[in-house]
Amino acid sequence: MKFENWLLVSDIDGTICPEYNVIPQRNLDAVRRFQQEGGRFTLATGRHLQIVRHLVKAFEIRTPLILVNGGCIYDPVAERFTYEQYLNETAIRYVKELQCRRELLSVRLMTEDNGVYEVYRREDMELSDPRYSKYAVPWAELEQIAAMRWRKALFVTSVEDAPAFRAFAQAQRYPDVSFLASSGSFYEMVPRGVSKGEGLLRVAQQLGIPVEHTIGIGDYENDLSLLQAAGFSAAPENAIGAAKRLADRIVCDSSEGAVGDLIDYLITHGNS
């Protein structure tokens, strides 16, 4: 089969889904062809398990998922995590220090129970604004979930205020965490060493697939490590400049079926 022993990893938002949970039919059809030709397909995302299950079903994914920007690997066949990384207890102090910044609109924590909880919200934040809230996030006092292990912290600002907040966060030089942007408004704190790129390498190793047989596609800052790690990389036309510069190929806009365009290219031009 043409794609036997090949791994294709796609980002979700802005790549395989141009809008929240909107999937172009071209992507569905192309992924199915890739899988029928022996290829292993999966997703790499900042999301947690509960809000990707419908995509696992839609794409009939049987390959381990890269979740929480590489912080977790989940086997959908065995229905268990094969890798999990958590923030250290020092993250509680970091969150308290950072949530004092005037630029912040919201702070959300992803926890070991695969839940997401909002622990801070600025009074003037509009909860229904689609730029900041794609789904309902329950409120919790920080002390209520302090005893739980945290997968990541998400800091929400306006696009205009993002540079000031991000510069401040980076200037703290916290030794055991990394920061990465997943959108113009979302800035994430993850355990140091966690990335989608490391997730791709981990999944490839689990499957016994050589790195040169891996393909990654993504559009934003948190996808750069994925593009760097993959044997062949692609970015949709709507991707940020840094992603396009790293990519081996630029494919069509995500709204037109970017993953489908990539797979069509691989079928036409070969995968070697």
Confidence of residue 132 (pLDDT cuts 50, 70, 90): low
What average pLDDT does this structure show over 161-166? 97
Helices marked H in the chain — which ranges?
Answer: 25-36, 53-59, 90-98, 162-171, 196-207, 224-229, 241-246, 258-269
Residue 272: pLDDT above 70?
no
Residue 231: pLDDT above 60?
yes
- Asked if domains 7-84+194-269 and 90-191 share a fold, the reply is no
φ, ψ for residue 10, nearest 5 deg: -120, 140
φ, ψ for residue 57, nearest 5 deg: -70, -45
- C-alpha 244/C-alpha 235 separation (Å) is 6
- As a whole-number percent, the residues of the chain with pLDDT over 70 amount to 95
- C-alpha 221/C-alpha 236 separation (Å) is 13
Residue 188: pLDDT above 60?
yes
Confidence of residue 114 (pLDDT cuts 50, 70, 90): confident
Confidence of residue 69 (pLDDT cuts 50, 70, 90): very high
Per CATH, the homologous superfamily of domain 7-84+194-269 is HAD superfamily/HAD-like (3.40.50.1000)
| Mean of per-residue pLDDT scores for the chain | 94
pLDDT for 1 equals: 77
Per-domain residue ranges of the chain: 7-84+194-269, 90-191
Q: What pLDDT, in 10s, does the model give residues 143-154?
A: 999 999 999 999
Residue 135: pLDDT above 90?
no
Who contacts 266 (Cβ-Cβ below 8 Å, separation ≥6)? 3, 34, 215
Q: What pLDDT, in 10s, does the model give residues 9-65?
A: 999 999 999 988 899 999 999 999 999 999 999 999 999 999 999 999 999 999 999
Which of 58-72, 133-147, 194-208, 236-250 comes out lowest in average pLDDT? Answer: 133-147
What DSSP character marks residue 64?
Answer: P
- Is CATH 3.30.1240.10 correct for 90-191? yes
User: Bigger pLDDT: 270 or 251?
Assistant: 251
φ, ψ for residue 107, nearest 5 deg: -130, 130
Which of 44-53, 126-135, 183-192, 250-259 comes out lowest in average pLDDT? Answer: 126-135
